[in-house]
Amino acid sequence: MTTVICLHAAVAQKSYGSEKRFLCPPPVVHIEGPVWHMRSQQLAMSVVSENGERSFEQKAPLDNTMTASFKFLHVTGTAKAKSFQLSLDIVEPPPAHPTAEGGDPPGGRVWAAFDSAPVTIISKPSKKTAKTRNISSCILAGGPVSLFNRINSQTVRTKYMTIDHAQLCASNVAWSAFNVNVVQRPNDAPPMGGPQPVTYGCEIILSDVQSGISTSPLVIRKVDKGRVSAEDGGPVSQMQKIALQRVNPDGSRHYLSAAGPIPGTPGVVAPPAPGMSSQAGTHPLIFQSPRVRDETKDGVRTITDEVDDYLCWTIVGISKFQYTFFDAFGQNNSIPEVPITPFPTLFTSPVYRPANNTVEMTVSNFFYDDPKSGTQTPLAVYLGNIGPLRQRVYQATPPGPLTSISPFIPNPTPIDTGSHENASIGATSVSSVLASPRYVQSAPLHTIVIVEMPSLMDVIKALEEDAIPPNGNILGQTSSSENEASTSGPHLDGNPPLPPPPSITGRSLPLLFIRASDGVGYHSGRTIACENVFQTMDLGTMAAASASSPSGTSIDTSWLAAAQAAAAVDGGLHGWTLRVI
C-alpha cells in the first residue's frame, strides 16, 4: 500500500501588504510504499482560501527519503478570513517535446489531489495566557508539536528542533514533530476531564513521533520580554515563546539552547552523541545558563532568569492528513487514467448486523466514472483478500418537504438482484433505477451500502492465511471447491469442521474499496475481527467473585459452561461473531 502523509502547523499567521510570513514549520509530505513510480512524480501544494480560491502554488521534488518540503507558502486575504486549507496535487510529468521559444512547458496531468482540514489563521501570537475554556488555542498534552528558534525575528535565522543520528538537534533544513507528555503538573493539580492543556510550570518529556526518542524531563516556562516568568501557571497558547528549563541537583538552572556548541564555555553541557550530523546546517542542542538578575524591591527579593533569543522556542501544534491507496491488480506500472481522488470516506463507523451477517455503512464518493462505459459505477467491497462481496447500494434521500426523488445514477446492471427489505428508512434503492440517456448523470453525495459478509469459516480461514497471498497480490477469490469446504455445516465425510484456532486472536482483516475498472484500491480505515463471546469469559473468576460478594448473591455459571461446551462440540462456531474495529 502507498500512504501519503502531510504534517503541517495547526495555525498560521496572516501576511499583510507585501510581507510574506511563510508557514512555519513548512508543510512536509512523506510518501511510503512503491506504487506507480512515485519518485518521478511532481508534487505541488497550494493555499486554498475559505471561498475556494487557490493561490501561491509551490512545487517541490521528492528527495531520496521520499520526502518533500514546501518552504515558501504564506497566507493573505481579507481580515475576516478565519481559516484556509492546504491542497496537495500529485502530477504526472508531461511528455518531453519541444516548446516554442519563451513559452511555458505544458503542465502534467493531476491524478491525485489531497486536502487538509481547515487551518486556523491568527493575526499574531497571544501574549496573554490562554483561557482554558478556549481549548482550540491551547497546546494539548500528548499531542504533537513543533518547536523552532528564531533570532531577532528573522525568517532566515530560523532553526527547528529535530532528531538526527538519534540525538536532539537544531536544524535549518528539517524539523520533527514531538509529542508533549506531561510528567508532573505544578502543585500536583488534579487533571480535568476531556483534553488536557499543557500549562506553564509543567514538567514535560518531548518524544519524537517517528523514532520515539525522548528528552529528559524539562520544565516549560513562559518568556516575556526576555525574562522567564516562573509564576505563570496558565495554559500554553499556540505560537507563544517558551523556554525549556532543566533544574540541576544543586538548584541551578539551565535552558535548552539552539546556539551552536562552544567547547569550554562555562555552564554548557553538550549531550553525549557520537557521530557527525547527516544534514547541512544541523548541530546538537546544548544546555546553557541564563543571566540571573537578583533584585530587591520594597523589601522583597526576586531572582529572575534573563534569556537571549537562542534560549527561546516558539511552540505550535501539528496537524496531519493521511491517505492510503494501493494497486489491487499488483501491476504498479502505470498511472491510472482516472484520478484516484476524491477518496471514498466513511461518514460513521460501520455497523455489523449479526442477524443477517451484513455490515451497514454510509460512504461518500462511493461512485466513480468508468472510462470504458462512461457511467457512474459503484466501488467493489473486499474484506482482506475475500471479494468482491455482494452489496446493496442505497442513496440517502435529499431533504425536501414534498419530494423523495433521488438523482439519477446510471447503472447498466443491477447491483443486487435480491430483496431490498433491509434498506434504511428514508433511503432510495439505487439498483432499482433503470439507465436512461435522457437523465443527467450525477453521483450521490453519500451512499448507504449494505455488504453481505463472508461466512465465519471463510473469515477465519483468511485470518489464518494472514490475508495476503504468497504472490503478493492483494486481491484473490476463493474457488468454488474452497467455498464448499469452508461452510459452517458438516463436511461431506460427516465430520464437523475444526474449531477456530486461538491464533486469530487480536488479528483482523481490512475493509477495502476497489475500483474494478483499473484496480485502484482504498483502505476504509476500518477492519473486521472475529471473536468468541463465550471463550473470553473466565468461569473461575466469575465464580470467585460470586463467592466473595458481600450481598451473598451467587451467579449461576452453569449456562456459560454449557455454552462453552457447545462451542467445542458444534464445530467450534458457537458464540463466534464479527466485530468492526
CA dihedral 152, 156, 159, 162 (to 10 degrees): 160
Run of H or E residues at 381: strand 380-383
* pLDDT in 10s for each residue of the chain, 581 residues: 888 999 999 999 887 777 788 899 999 999 987 655 777 888 999 999 888 888 888 999 888 888 999 999 988 766 678 889 999 999 988 776 655 555 556 678 899 999 999 999 987 776 665 555 567 788 999 999 999 998 776 666 789 999 998 899 999 889 999 999 999 888 766 666 667 889 999 999 999 998 999 999 999 999 988 888 877 778 999 999 999 999 999 888 999 999 875 444 444 444 433 333 444 578 999 999 988 888 777 778 788 888 888 899 999 999 999 998 888 887 656 778 888 989 998 988 899 999 899 999 999 999 988 888 888 899 999 998 898 999 999 876 554 444 333 333 333 333 443 333 333 333 333 333 333 333 334 445 788 999 999 988 888 888 887 544 444 444 433 333 333 333 333 443 444 444 445 466 678 899 999 998 888 999 988 998 888 766 555 555 655 555 565 655 555 656 555 655 555 554 555 667 888 88
Q: 304 to each of 152, 258, 405, how far by Cα in Å? A: 22, 21, 72
Residue 505's CB is within 10 A of a number of other CB atoms, namely 14
The terminus-to-terminus CA distance of the chain in angstroms comes to 19
| pLDDT at residue 353, rounded to an integer | 92
Structural domains in the chain, CATH included, are 1-95+108-124 (2.60.40.1450), 127-318 (2.80.10.50), 328-532 (no CATH)
Q: Provide the residue count of the chain.
A: 581
Separation between Cα atoms, residue 27 and residue 10, nearest integer Å:
10
Is residue 339 classed as helix, strand or coil in its secondary structure?
coil
Q: 112 to each of 26, 107, 380, how far by Cα in Å? A: 21, 14, 20
Is residue 243 classed as helix, strand or coil in its secondary structure?
strand
* Structural contact between residues 460 and 528, judged by C-beta atoms closer than 8 angstroms: no
Q: Is the dihedral of CA 185, 186, 191, 195 positive or negative?
A: negative
Is residue 416 classed as helix, strand or coil in its secondary structure?
coil
The conformational region for residue 502 under phi > 0 = left, psi -120 to 50 = alpha, else beta, is alpha
Choose among 276, 249, 280, 254: nearest CA to 265. Answer: 254
| pTM of the predicted protein model | 0.73
Give the contacts of 418 (CB within 8 A, at least 6 positions apart): 390, 392
The 3 state secondary structure assigned to 13-27 is EECCCCCCCECCCCC
The 3 state secondary structure assigned to 344-367 is CEECCCCEEECCCCEEEEEEECCE
* Structural contact between residues 430 and 552, judged by C-beta atoms closer than 8 angstroms: no
Tell me which residue has cell 495547526.
Answer: 10
Nine cell digits for residue 146: 513543533
Helices (H) and strands (E) in the chain, counts: 4, 35
Separation between Cα atoms, residue 199 and residue 213, nearest integer Å:
23
* Structural contact between residues 245 and 186, judged by C-beta atoms closer than 8 angstroms: no
* Structural contact between residues 360 and 346, judged by C-beta atoms closer than 8 angstroms: no
* Structural contact between residues 257 and 285, judged by C-beta atoms closer than 8 angstroms: yes
Position 124: which residue type? Answer: K
Position 180: which residue type? Answer: V
* Structural contact between residues 78 and 60, judged by C-beta atoms closer than 8 angstroms: no
Backbone angles phi, psi at 137, to 5 degrees: -95, 5
Q: 517 to each of 227, 376, 556, how far by Cα in Å? A: 64, 12, 57
Separation between Cα atoms, residue 427 and residue 309, nearest integer Å:
61
Nine cell digits for residue 75: 497566507
Give the contacts of 478 (CB within 8 A, at least 6 positions apart): 386, 458, 486
Cα atoms in the Cβ-side hemisphere of radius 13 Å centred on 432: 12
Choose among 499, 506, 502: nearest CA to 574. Answer: 499
- Residue 116 is given by DSSP the state P
* Structural contact between residues 82 and 120, judged by C-beta atoms closer than 8 angstroms: yes
